Amino acid sequence: MTQGDQRRERPSADGGGGGDWQRDVLRELGGGAGGSGHAGTEHGPGPGRPPATARPGEPTLRLVHPAPSPATAAGAAEDAPGPVPPAGPVPPAAPGAPGGPASPAAVSGARAADEPDPEPPATPVVPAPVPAPVRDPRLPAAPAPESSPTLDPRLLLALGRPLHGDSVTRRTGRALRKLTSSVAQDVAERTRIARELQQPVTTGRVVAVTSIRGGVGKSTVSALLGRTLNHYRHDPVLVLEADAALGTLPVRLGAEAVRWTCADLASVLHPSMQLTDVTGYLVPVSDGGWLLPASRGQVGPPLDMTSYRKVTLALRRYFAVTVVDCESLPGEVARTAMDTAHARVVVAPTTAEGVGATRQVLDWLARLPHSALATTVVALMSSTPDTLLDDRTAAGHLKEAGVTVVTVPYDRHLAGGGPIRTDLLAHATQQAVLRLAAEVMGRAVRVR
């Protein structure tokens, strides 16, 4: 007996007669029989038996290309004559073909009575493209430069203790004179100077400091003006170095290291920048104020006029006063700064040749389209205690050009170099610097 005969004689699950009743029901349904549910019909028509017709008025259930169960398909394959197919995976038939899966229309029609429609396939979620980051125009396009020390650390170790501008004998004598002098007169003079230095400004004022040659105290005067104005004023003050020839302004202001230069800042300035953004590129001074150096302590190209104009015009929005330490005359930036500044300071050494060259500079300022002599002050610096030229005679020669001259006497603290400490300045130097700052600020405010 074959395996197919054994399956046909196997009793059904409900205890009925032999045969595969599921296969018979499927065969009757496929042949159009509609009375499989009556008591007199247990099996569908066998092979060669005519199919039963449906009763009138009763609905006929048809399955188009029914999909047999795995067990039924296996039994039908054994009963059918023909060679046994080889073992292995059988390729699927085309939809709608005999023996293949039902067509989508037939399956949906047969499933509509008792099965819910399948859920549509989920639409694949495509991630939104990530936009490229937009560079902030206020940030530098190039990498930030590295910081450079203003002085070699070995030189800092070799730097001795700074001297006081006045000797002990002079300080003692001045203290004794204070006991007999009029205190009210001294207070009134200081109040007048403070009122001059604290004058309000509508727009940022630019004060240009230059000289006929280097080494006469131009950077020292710029540092003294910056510290004095920052001490008396309540708005921000900037000291800008426009001399890239290894100037000493960062050292005089006590800066330990410099990073961004004037030329670097010119390439990153943007109108939308705030004061806090700008100060990130500046060097904070120890006792207040800000510094913008011209170099990082290396020999480089000089500052061009375009960068100078862009920086000074842009920074006037953020700082009430900008003190510019210009290059020596007759440099291009120095001539531009002297022509466009609100006030000017010409530093002259107390020597015959220095005073004579400064007089020529004053004559050049008088020939400018808008005479700049009314807003120019001359600082006559004494760099040695043994001066051969009488300072009064030198000041009188310069005053003939129609300018105000302020004499800054010799000071041991300034002559020693290094960072300037205002508490160590000589008393006469302090008075001279206060007068110089008041004269400069008064002229800068009057210019519209």
**Of 132-146, 180-194, 264-278, 394-408, the least confident:** 132-146
The whole-model pTM stands at 0.67
pLDDT band at 296 (very low <50, low <70, confident <90, very high): confident
Residue 95 near residue 103 (C-beta atoms within 8 A): yes
Write down the pLDDT at residue 370: 74
| pLDDT tens string 230-282 | 999 999 999 999 987 777 899 999 998 888 989 899 989 888 899 999 999 99
**pLDDT tens digit sequence for 150-207:** 887 788 777 778 889 888 888 888 888 877 777 777 788 888 899 999 999 988 999 9
Model confidence over 88-114: pLDDT tens digits? 444 444 444 444 455 444 444 444 445
β-sheet bridge partners, residue 240:
292, 324
- For all residues of the chain together, what is the average pLDDT? 76
Residue 396 confidence (pLDDT) above 50: yes
Which has the closest alpha carbon to 51: 67, 72, 66, 30?
30
**If pLDDT is split at 50, 70 and 90, which confidence band does 122 have?**
low
Question: What is the pLDDT confidence band of residue 436, given thresholds at 50, 70 and 90?
Answer: very high
Q: In the prediction, which pLDDT does 73 show? A: 46
126, pLDDT greater than 70: no
| pLDDT in the model for residue 125 | 53
Residue 147 has pLDDT above 50, yes or no: yes
Instruction: Give the pLDDT confidence of 62-84 residue by residue, as tens digits.
Output: 444 444 554 444 444 444 444 44
Query: So what's the pLDDT on residue 139?
Result: 52
pLDDT range class, residue 31, cuts 50, 70, 90: low
- pLDDT of 136: 54
